[in-house]
Amino acid sequence: MAQDGTSRQSAREDVRRAVLITEAHTSVEEQHRARVRKYLFIMSFRIPALVLAALAYAAWQNPWIAMAIVGASIPLPWMAVLIANDRPPRSDDEPSRYGWRAQNTTAIESSAHPVVTVDADVDDTPTAEAATRAAVTAKRPGPVGT
């Protein structure tokens, strides 16, 4: 018995049920601030890239170098928005909220199907009907103009 009148077993169970503060998710405001910081960090490269392009053109009089720097800065706003709008990665214990679940179904029906067997004493000689069919297909006209 513990000093407060409870057994050690119930105290252990309470510890197992306790939620640690380190397991708590970050608040929405904190996530938003982190996303804004990511966005501003990526976008902070845009204006210096344009200034660098102007300096490169002034220094070397080569428009291709300046255009390459400007071209590298073009996708920065798009990347900044995509990265900033991304949520933190899901933890392993977080449930998926997607409603549809794949049923345990098979592609082929599981019911029994009759087995068709072929008797060994089948006559292999062509019948009159098979001979007529072969004669009709042989008399079909070919392509027009031949």
Contact 65, 56 (CB under 8 A): yes
Total residues found in the chain within this entry: 146
pLDDT in tens, 86-102: 877 777 777 766 666 56
Which SS3 state, helix, strand or coil, does residue 132 take? helix
The reply to whether 119 falls in a domain is: no
The reply to whether 15 falls in a domain is: no
pLDDT averaged over the chain?
76
The reply to whether 12 falls in a domain is: no
The reply to whether 98 falls in a domain is: no
**Which structure tokens are listed for 114?**
């009759």
Answer yes or no: is pLDDT of 67 > 80.
Answer: yes
The reply to whether 131 falls in a domain is: no
The reply to whether 37 falls in a domain is: yes
Could you tell me the residue range of the domain that residue 52 belongs to? 26-88
Contact 2, 8 (CB under 8 A): yes
pLDDT in tens, 100-120: 656 666 666 667 767 777 775
Q: What is the dihedral of CA 35, 41, 47, 48, to 10 degrees?
A: -170
The reply to whether 73 falls in a domain is: yes
The reply to whether 68 falls in a domain is: yes
Which of 90, 91, 76, 88 is closest to 39 using CA atoms? Answer: 76
pTM above 0.75, yes or no: no
Number of domains the chain is built from = 1
Region 39-65: mean pLDDT is 95
pLDDT of residue 54: 95
